[in-house]
Amino acid sequence: MSIMTPHIRQMCLCYFAITLTLTEAISLQLNQPKVLLVSFDGFRWDYIHRVPMPRFKYVMENGIHVNRVTNIFITKTYPNHYTLVTGLYAENHGIVANKMYDQDLNKTFSMDGMDIFDPVWWDEAYPLWVTNQIQGHKSGAVMWPGTDVQIHGMYPTHYMIYNISVPFEDRVTQLIDWFRGKEPVNFGLLYWEEPDQTGHEFGTDNPFLDKVIADIDLKLGYLVEQLQKAGLWNTINLIVTSDHGMTLCSRDRIIELDLYIDRDLYTWIDFTPVSAILPKEGKYYEIYHALVNAHPNMTVYKKEDIPDHFRYKHNKRIQPIIAVADEGWTINQNKTTGKFNLGDHGYDNTINSMQPLLIAHGPAFKKNFTKEIMDIVDVYPLICHILGIVPMSNNGTLNNVRELLVDGKMIATESSVVDIVSQGEINTRGSYAWLGILLGSVLVVCFLIVFVQQVTKSQMSGLNIHQGEMSQPLLSR
Ligand SMILES: *[C@@H]1O[C@H](CO)[C@@H](O)[C@H](O)[C@H]1NC(C)=O
Ligand SMILES: *[C@@H]1O[C@H](CO)[C@@H](O)[C@H](O)[C@H]1NC(C)=O
Ligand SMILES: *[C@@H]1O[C@H](CO)[C@@H](O)[C@H](O)[C@H]1NC(C)=O
Ligand SMILES: *[C@@H]1O[C@H](CO)[C@@H](O)[C@H](O)[C@H]1NC(C)=O
Ligand SMILES: *[C@@H]1O[C@H](CO)[C@@H](O)[C@H](O)[C@H]1NC(C)=O
Ligand SMILES: *[C@@H]1O[C@H](CO)[C@@H](O)[C@H](O)[C@H]1NC(C)=O
Ligand SMILES: [Zn+2]
């Protein structure tokens, strides 16, 4: 100790204080509410009753279970995944289908192509990870649709380029690393392709689908186990849901457009079960009249007549004519061309089989609580509320799902909706501001201490006091 000059001692104290402050900041960050949103693509609400699902049951009994989620029209993958993270209907978030055409841009969006990486498709909305990051937090995403696209100039803090071959276990490992990193994420997204793929290929009544559903139960079990091992299970709010259900189709239920309209008269933008039809110049009425009463199991709408409850009208990417098949029917040009799926989705979102489930577990959620039905647009305000971030303007209502939450664990301040412009302000007065003020104060105090020390030392230099005595009182305080 004797070799330590008061100056060094003060510095040490100073570092000690800063370290304390940082530790406090980091532990606060560790205590920040966390949400992990998981989607098992095409997991119909009633799949949990097909085979024993002990891991799902475990999560439900220790958390909440929403029997059915009314998703948005059209009940397809991209539109609904974007709704989960924006709280908006398709007409408002702009991802109106898995296949779209934008006449103004003269561009096509299709899952088979690279065009999904063009931000212009996604920029009509602000997804949750972008809002989360603007408000000073970090996000991590594994394969969730849109998370490898630069939306409003931003990727998730951590993300993986979409690669279907990456095993579920690797996806989980990656996410847990991000939740436990030095600068941990508070929001994670995890996507898995099944049971959608099997549902499409084999239909919904095939025993092979049961095996895949049982495997999903194992996968959820693996996720829970890894979260437990990582010490995250009791602090993370896990939400498991899906984008849509699935129904059985048949080659006996194909509607052939070729029987009614000439292929030269239109561009077939999207296929089935909601066909998006762009008539060639001057052919609009001809097409509409040829189709409107063509088949008893196909309802044909002019864009302006699409029923309001679909919330599927006010967007330039919705084509002038759409044809909607009845459940289990497929629209094709003829019986021998085009893709045919034994299972499909995309139909009217009020049809039972189109709807997924939602289960959740964590400090924010009640235990062993069941709710019959909820709207998919309410997931977004729910997550924002748990994370304590201010949501963007959206079509969801937190009050509709409040009953899922433990009251005591609710964030005190009720977030209000902000517009895009004020997001910047939130950043400056947001989560980093207090940290800055705290660190600043500590530095000022330290500077003053050292300064006083130096002044005192120079005043007392003539007295030649043992240096140890000078600093002792400070240390014992
Ligand atoms: C739209 O783009 C295609 C090429 O992708 C081009 O052939 C066509 O002329 C363009 N149409 C308009 C109206 O610009
Ligand atoms: C996709 O993931 C697999 C399995 O991890 C890997 O072998 C492959 O190289 C990846 N492909 C690309 C294009 O990164
Ligand atoms: C198909 O149309 C027929 C005749 O209108 C109707 O009876 C039947 O219910 C329809 N099928 C479905 C799945 O709606
Ligand atoms: C279906 O259309 C394809 C062209 O896309 C044609 O080759 C085929 O002959 C048609 N099938 C029938 C049954 O008309
Ligand atoms: C959950 O609630 C049901 C009744 O709603 C009850 O039978 C069951 O024992 C409860 N499970 C747990 C783990 O509390
Ligand atoms: C959905 O939310 C958007 C953004 O706030 C709004 O413009 C739109 O009118 C809402 N739609 C409905 C049906 O309320
Ligand atoms: Zn899907």
Q: Quick one: DSSP state of residue 151? A: B
pLDDT of residue 461: 40
What angle is formed at CA 131 by the lines to CA 64 and CA 176, rounded to 5 degrees? 55
pLDDT of residue 439: 52
Q: Which residues of 130-168 are buried (b: 16+ CB within 10 A; e: fewer)?
A: bbbbbbbbbbbbbbbbbbbbebeebbbbbbbebeeeeeb
Does the beta carbon of 164 sit less than 6 angstroms from any atom of ligand 2? no
Contacts of 88 (CB under 8 A, 6+ apart): 82, 125, 377, 380, 394, 395
Can you tell me the distance from the alpha carbon of 269 to that of 322, in angstroms, rounded to the nearest whole number? 10
pLDDT of residue 338: 81
Residue ranges, comma separated, of all CATH 3.30.1360.180 domains in the chain are: 254-344
Q: Which amino acid is at 385?
A: H
Report the separation in Å between the CA atom of 433 and the middle of ligand 3, taken as the mean of its atom positions.
Answer: 61
Report the separation in Å between the CA atom of 373 and the middle of ligand 6, taken as the mean of its atom positions.
Answer: 21
Write out residues in the chain with pLDDT < 50, as ranges. 1-6, 8-9, 11-27, 408-437, 440, 444, 446-447, 450-452, 455-477
Residue ranges, comma separated, of all CATH 3.40.720.10 domains in the chain are: 32-88+125-246+350-430
Can you tell me the distance from the alpha carbon of 217 to that of 58, in angstroms, rounded to the nearest whole number? 10
What CA–CA distances, in Å, run from 254 to 221, 222, 333, 341, 472?
A: 39, 40, 9, 11, 89
pLDDT of residue 454: 52
Can you tell me the distance from the alpha carbon of 168 to that of 179, in angstroms, rounded to the nearest whole number? 17
Respond yes or no on whether the N-terminal peptide bond of residue 273 is cis (omega within 30° of 0). yes
End-to-end CA distance of the chain: give it in Å, rounded: 17
Does the beta carbon of 61 sit less than 6 angstroms from any atom of ligand 5? yes
Q: Quick one: DSSP state of residue 88? A: -
pLDDT of residue 335: 93
**Contact between residue 112 and residue 271 where contact means Cβ atoms under 8 Å apart:** no
pLDDT of residue 476: 28
Question: Residues 19, 21, 23, 77: which is the catalytic one?
Answer: 77
Can you tell me the distance from the alpha carbon of 102 to that of 318, in angstroms, rounded to the nearest whole number? 8
**How big is the chain by its Cα radius of gyration, in Å?**
28
Q: Which amino acid is at 160?
A: M
pLDDT of residue 339: 85
User: Which ligand 5 atom minimizes the distance to the CA of 370?
Assistant: 5
CATH code of domain 254-344: 3.30.1360.180
Q: Helix count (H) and strand count (E) of the chain?
A: 13, 18
Known active-site residue 330: no
Question: Strand 64-70 and strand 369-375: pairing?
Answer: parallel
Which residue is closest in CA terms to ligand 4's atom 14?
334
pLDDT of residue 453: 55
Report the separation in Å between the CA atom of 409 and the middle of ligand 5, taken as the mean of its atom positions.
Answer: 22
Q: Does domain 32-88+125-246+350-430 have CATH number 3.40.720.10?
A: yes
Ion ligand 7 residue ranges (Cβ < 5 Å) = 41-42, 77, 196, 243
User: Which ligand 4 atom minimizes the distance to the CA of 335?
Assistant: 13
Q: Which amino acid is at 28?
A: L
